[in-house]
Amino acid sequence: MYEKIKGLSLAEQVEVLTRTLVTHASINGTEGETRIADEIKKWLLSFPYFKAHPELVWEQVLPHDPLGRKNIFALVKGKPGLNQTVIYHSHLDTVGIEDFGALKDHAFDPDYLETFFKAYSADPRVQQDALSGDYLFGRGSVDMKSGIAVHLANILRFSQNPEELNGNLLLMINPVEENQHTGIIEAIKELKRLKEEEGLSFVLAINNDFTSSLYDQDPHYYIYTGAVGKLLPCFYISGREAHVGETLTGVDPTLIASEINRRINNNMDLAEEIEGELILPPSCLYLRDQKDFYNVQTAGRAYLYFNLFLYRSTPETVLNKLKLLAVRACQETTQYLQNQYQAFIKRTGYLHSRLSWDIKVYTYEEYVRYLKEKGIEADKIAKQVVKENKQMESRQLCFKIMEALEQKEPDRHPKVILFFAPPYCPHNYLDESVDQDRRKLEVLQQVAKKVGEECKLSFMIKHFFPYLSDSSYLSLHETDEELQALVHNFPQWEDIYPLPFQDMRKLDIPSINMGVYGHDAHQWTERVYKPYSFSVLPQLIKETTLAILNLNETGKEHQNDTNQINTV
């Protein structure tokens, strides 16, 4: 690859790298993730610096991964004797290509897609972007093959001029970002090793996951000083089956699920209030009854779960709010069912049966305690379910645990069990009350002002990158006590989704996002804006790298920083 891009301008290098990366399919959950990792490693080893120091490029295979997926690392050492290190990180996987429809065979062909969209009058904005020549199309173009390309180009540049660095650069490319984040989670072990054995001190991580406009005619480009967190609150809903000829005697779990969904889905009252930030409400990702085939019996169970973003809130706060909403939803459902039954009796004149439509609501921790009081070994049952279903999709495995526990219950009754399932993403942000974080923020402001003036662009610095990101796992703000509500309400946490909390807390790597810019990530019209992403962004990241490494222990910049921070 080096022979292909040497002699090109930085922007040209980024474009060549992006186009080549897009042509390599690396859909999440496929062998393409492994193949592209091998390709990136091979490219790095073609750079002159790494040809001379091949030991500074290495891989970390994810243990027990059926596809052999791996993290790729490369280290550029700056001036001798300095251990402070900036991390560049990106993810190599993409979402699937089903949304391309008839164009699936061309999903990884930027030139074909550009030609197609030039004639695509159904969406004038996309057509205009294609005609402009300023955009590169294709799956992964903005999320985030172009991000990898920017980091590779900057790594090449710094590897050719390592004397500029008052410290080191560590490149980290991870798989499995689009769902389970197991790439970055496994990488925590390697970062810990580098800290303990190699003495590296990680002062900042720079992710360049995609950014976009936040509203129509938005003139700004955004720098994010943190990553939003995420919870996946789940509801196992068990009702009382009934024949459709006696439907009013049953408790339909789909009715309960619908009422819970109505109260939570896109409810802005459940979104945190942080001035100046893009704060999103919870959204339903799954709602389904558990009937395996058609018959005239109502459903017995329903499963429901939500994406819920965490900014500054804690899992305990979220748990309490959602339980209260579930209780109210069940109370309203009970009242509704009672009212409908009374109306039925009034119309038919039948004798009133002694029925109850009460629905109990538990958190997982409460339900396990209830079962143990009945003499049921809930922990043993849950562990056995995991042992017997190791290949099951992790969220379904959690629901299967609920089902197995309920089957052991002596007095079955309609219920809702609220619990958490993977993934859990901690929130990660620069804390202005901490001196080191405040100094880093000041550096970002200075760099943004400098690059903005040079490039005649408007930058805005915000706290939280509004999309899910691997950056979440590089630090941990919650205390052990604050995490108890998560762990105690997450079935078989240690088997299904163990996180190295203590290692994350000890690493405590602040992570910012300076992302490539484009539109329609995860859509078939996905495209990256070349003038900013290929020219301005590499400069912005370069300037930030130098400025951060020029901070000494007291937070003042080295005297030679002005000479070292130049434009590309």
pLDDT in tens, 22-38: 999 999 999 999 999 99
- Give the single-character DSSP code of 277: S
Q: What pTM was computed for the model? A: 0.89
| Whole-number pLDDT of residue 552 | 54
Residue 554 has pLDDT above 80, yes or no: no
Q: How confident is the model at residue 565 (pLDDT cuts 50, 70, 90)?
A: very low
List pLDDT tens digits, range 458-480.
999 999 998 889 999 999 988 88
Return the pLDDT at 225. 95
Whether residue 161 contacts residue 77, with contact meaning beta carbons closer than 8 Å, is answered with: no
**Among 55, 211, 133, CA closest to 541:** 211
114-162 pLDDT per residue, tens: 999 999 999 999 999 999 999 999 999 999 999 999 999 999 999 999 9
Report whether 516 contacts 144 (CB < 8 A). Answer: yes
Residue 553 pLDDT greater than 60, yes or no: no
Query: Rounded CA gap, 136 and 292, in Å?
Result: 44
Task: Cis check for the bond before 402: say yes or no (omega within 30 of 0).
Answer: no
C-beta separation of 131 from 118 below 8 A? yes
How much is the pLDDT for 558? 39
pLDDT band at 562 (very low <50, low <70, confident <90, very high): very low
Interval 329-342: pLDDT, tens:
999 999 999 999 99
User: CB–CB of 510/113 below 8 Å?
Assistant: no
The two tokens of residue 568 are 């590309």
Question: Tell me, what's the pLDDT at 566?
Answer: 30
Q: Please answer whether residues 287 and 302 qualify as being in contact, where contact means their C-beta atoms are separated by less than 8 angstroms.
A: yes
Q: What percent of the chain has pLDDT over 70?
A: 97
Task: Please name which of 470, 423, 451 lies closest in space to residue 91, comparing C-alpha atoms.
Answer: 470
pLDDT tens track for 191-244: 999 999 999 999 999 999 999 999 999 999 999 999 999 999 999 999 999 998
Answer whether residue 42 shows pLDDT above 50: yes
Rounded distance between C-alpha atoms, residue 277 and residue 393, angstroms: 34
Q: Is 60 exceeded by the pLDDT of residue 560?
A: no
Which residue is associated with the tokens 């009715």? 255
